[in-house]
Chain A
Amino acid sequence: MEVGMLPISASKRGKLLSTGYTTLLSISRASLADLARDLQVSEDEASEIMKCASKTSTLDLSTGTHTTTVVNGGQTAWAMLNEEKFSLHITTSCVDLDNILCGGINCKEVTEIGGVPGIGKTQIGIQLAVNVQIPPEYGGLGGKAIYIDTEGSFMVERVLQIAEACIEDMSEYSNHFRKDFQASEVKMHPNNILENIFYFRVCSYTEQIALVNYLDKFITEHKDVKIIIIDSVTFHFRQDFDDMALRTRLLSAMALKLMKLASKFCLAVVLLNQVTTKHIDGSFQLTLALGDSWSHSCTNRIILFWNGNDRHAFIDKSPSLKSASAQYSVTPKGIRNSTSCKRIKMM
């Protein structure tokens, strides 16, 4: 029944049904006074119900041209193509990794990165928080970062190291490619980079959910945030959760909110995940934590793993990227190309 879908309270819905208003059409045809009298509610409440009903019924008539959409809020695929062509990417500082990601981490999407302890998830998170701040003159976004730390693995000393290395790389780049400007100094200082990373320390799953709810307001106040990193999204949901069904519901609600944030503010959301073992086909295999239902929640999924002595990243799931793996390494300067390949690539 259509009335069952209205976002109004259960008692109001019950009243509508019991007095015979079972379809949205019947509500829109009734007059305000009739509705108020039948339901025995005030005229204000009745007008609210009518507003709800008319918003939900999508009976927009097209104006006759082919470019308008029939359903409110929709967008044609052609319009989206233009948007996607110009969508922004955040570099990971490793050329091979950027290549398999077609430029870097996509804005407007939720990317999940998971791996065993010690593989470099936090390193990638910190590298992205620094790289989002690269100014547009050097090919970056010039934005700010939000780093949500649930495990306490954010070490400021490391952020400083990576920030200093990033500025060094930028001055090297400007020395090579912009010789026409006389010794153009990169005007950024590592402290500027640290200043643009907003850090939140979350101590329970309640705080995590509350923070994701609050981010909408926070980002409206800080419009230049371009990346949200949650390190790690798993930690608090793995401890003392007896009701697994509740956990799944909360996680999917949280993932939906993050997706909305990503598309509303055109920013990238990166979720770092842990691993667990699962018994498949008679043997134990590694898989990302939080279960099968969670694996549907993210747009892209990258798994970091050891292959011999090298770190690799594999695109496990993506609607637009090809399934491929790339090698990367963690150096004192941050994430960089793997040193075992003999090619030298300029930034």
Chain B
Amino acid sequence: MANIPLAEGPSGAKPKPFFTAPRVIVYTVLITCAAFFLFPLYVMIITSLKNIQEIQSGNIFIPTFSPTLDAWAKAWDSACTGLYCEGIKVGLWNSIKITAPSTVVSIAVASVTGYSLANWPFKFSEGFFAVLLLSNFIPYIVMIYPLVIITREMGIYSTLPAVILVHTIFGLPVQTLLFRNYFASLPLELFKAARVDGAGYWGIFFRIFVPMATPIFTVSIILQVTGIWNDFLFGVIFAGPTNYPMTVQLNNIVNSATGGKAYNVDMAATILTGLVPLTIYFVSGKYFVRGIAAGAVKG
């Protein structure tokens, strides 16, 4: 070995060129994908800011030079959704009235059920869990007609409680799975320690497990809120015309045949409807991805 003084040799991190082949490929793909998905949004926004003459005479890709919020105001306040012309704001409140209780009730029930399945095994708990797992794979369309009859017999068909009940029930299998798997992943010794400390079924749940379950609660809320908000079918079937959620109202605005197509109003209404899930995506991106991953892998 030659005695090279340390100072003369290279040291520290090896310098890397910025433009390497893998990096160029990755960025090209990412930018193309982003452009592909952002382009429709761009068209929606600029169309919503144009007046109807501009839309009829111009190219849909060219931005407007005299932007106006008239279409937004109309979409919000006075667009016709079938018989009524009160805009999409009615739908917003209906959507909130449907989403909030369905989310809260389904998560409350699912978290307790998941906790029971994970930590308090009963005689047929494994069988129950298997049925739960299976029910995730049954297409929900097949259950709609029976549910219509059930809600009719209960006397709540075409009301707010009916659509809330249906959303709650359909949320339970996936939510219970999420919570069951999360609680099963917590160390069993923690549960044992709490029992030695004298905590009971509810004591362990509320004082030990719930404070540790913030991530899974966040994920469930995101999944439920976006899922219920984006729903169209249950809303149109079970809610009844006065309680139609935003998605159904949007459809009615777009499809109501009075005069020519008001594309600017349609676009504004669409963006307004998508705003809630969109906000949730942006605010809780990290948790949202986790939720998708949890739903995909763990089931």
The judgment on whether A and B are partners is no
State the A residues within 8 Å of B (CB). none
State the B residues within 8 Å of A (CB). none
